[in-house]
Amino acid sequence: MSAILLLKLLIVPALIALVTLAGRRWGPAVAGWLSAFPIVAGPILWFIAMEQGAAFAAQAAVGTLSAVLAILAFGLSYAWAAARYPWPVSLPLAYVGYAAAVAMLDLCNVTSLPLAGLVVIAGLWLAPRFYPVLPPAAKAQSKPANDMLLRMVLGALLVLLVTHFAANLGPDLSGVFAMFPVMGTVLVLFTHRSSGAGATVQLLRGMVFGFYAFSMFCAVLAWALSATGVGMAFLWALAAAGIVQMLTRLWLTSHAVSAAHRAR
C-alpha cells in the first residue's frame, strides 16, 4: 500500500472522528461550525496537488470555493424540509437542492477567484437570514452504535473517489465534488433522528459561520499555489483559515451572550 493511499484512508476519517466527538461534547451548533473547516476538502485538494500538480489544484480550489454555494443550498433545502418532514424525505430534497446548485455553477462556469470569492461571501452573509425558526433543540437521545464508523467510512470513500477520478473530472468539477456534503449528510441524518428538526437547523446554521474559514482556506490556497510551493501554500491557507475560524467563534460567543442578556 502506497504512502498516499494510506494517508487517504487515515487522515480524513480521523478528522471526522474528532469533529464528531467535539459535537457530542458541545452540541450541534459547535459540530456544524467545526465540520465546515476544510477537514475533508483540504486533504482532497492536497492529494489532488500531489497527483495532478499545483496548477490543477489551484483551479480545483476555485471550484471548491464556488461550491460553498451548493453546500448552502443543501443546508437550506434540508432545513426547510425538516420543518415539515422526517429525514427520509428531507435528505433527498436536500440533495435536489445541492444538485440544482451544482448544475447552476457548471452553467455559469465561475473560474475567476475574485468573482467566486465575492459571490460566496454574499451567499454566506445572506444564508442565515433564510433558515426557518423552529423550537429549541430537543435533548439528544442515545447515539447509534455505528454513527462514528459510518462518518469515517463515508469520508474515506469520498477522498478515494474524488482523487481517483480527478484527472477525468477536470479541475473545476474535482473542486466542486470535493465539497460533496458527506459530513453534512451524516451530521444532519443522525442529528435529525436523535434530536429533532430544531437541533438540525442549529447544526446547519453553525455550518454557515464555519464556511467563512473554509472560504478563506480555498481563496488563499488558489492564490498561493501559483506563487509558492505546494507545502507552503497549504500552510498559508490553513493559517488564514484558522484565524478566521477563531474570529467567527468569538463573534458567535459574543452574539450568544448578547442574546441571553436580551432574553432576560
Over the stretch 57-99, which tens digit does the pLDDT of each residue have? 888 899 889 989 999 999 999 999 999 999 999 999 999 999 8
The amino acid at residue 91 is L
| CA atoms 228, 234, 237, 240: torsion sign | negative
Q: Give residue 206's pLDDT.
A: 84
- pLDDT average, residue stretch 209-233: 90
Position 1 confidence tier, pLDDT thresholds 50, 70, 90: very low
Distance separating alpha carbons of residues 17 and 161, to the nearest angstrom: 20
Handedness of CA 134, 136, 139, 140 (dihedral sign): positive
Reported as a single tens digit per residue, the pLDDT across 5-15 is 666 677 777 87
Collapsing DSSP to helix, strand or coil, 115 comes out as: helix
With cut-offs at 50, 70 and 90, classify the pLDDT of residue 260.
Answer: very low
Greater pLDDT, 237 or 47? 237
Backbone angles phi, psi at 131, to 5 degrees: -80, 145
SS3 content of the chain, % helix, strand, coil (to 5): 85, 0, 15
Confidence check: pLDDT of 109 > 80 = no
Segment among 51-55, 82-86, 122-126, 234-238 with least mean pLDDT? 51-55
Confidence (pLDDT) at 65: 92
Running DSSP on this structure, what letter comes out for residue 129?
Answer: G
**Single-letter code of the amino acid located at 152:** M
Distant-in-sequence, close-in-space partners of 137: CB < 8 Å, separation ≥ 6: 27, 28, 195, 196, 198, 199, 202
- Over its C-alpha atoms, the chain yields an Rg (Å, rounded) of 18
pLDDT at 203 over 70: yes
Instruction: Name, in order, each residue with C-beta under 8 angstroms of 234's C-beta and a sequence gap of 6 or more.
Output: 42, 46, 49, 221
* 255 burial type by CB count under 10 A (0-12 exposed, 13-18 middle, 19+ buried): exposed
Q: How far is CA 126 from the centre of its chain?
A: 17
Predicted confidence band of residue 237 (pLDDT cuts 50, 70, 90): very high
Which residues make Cβ contacts (< 8 Å) with residue 92, sequence separation at least 6? none
Torsion of CA 44, 69, 77, 241, to 10 degrees: 60
Q: What is the model's pLDDT at position 263?
A: 47
Name residue, grid cell 490543477: 56
- Digit-coded pLDDT (tens) for 9-32: 777 778 778 777 877 777 766 777
Q: What is the DSSP string of 65-79?
A: HHTHHHHHHHHHHHH
Q: What is the mean pLDDT of the chain?
A: 80
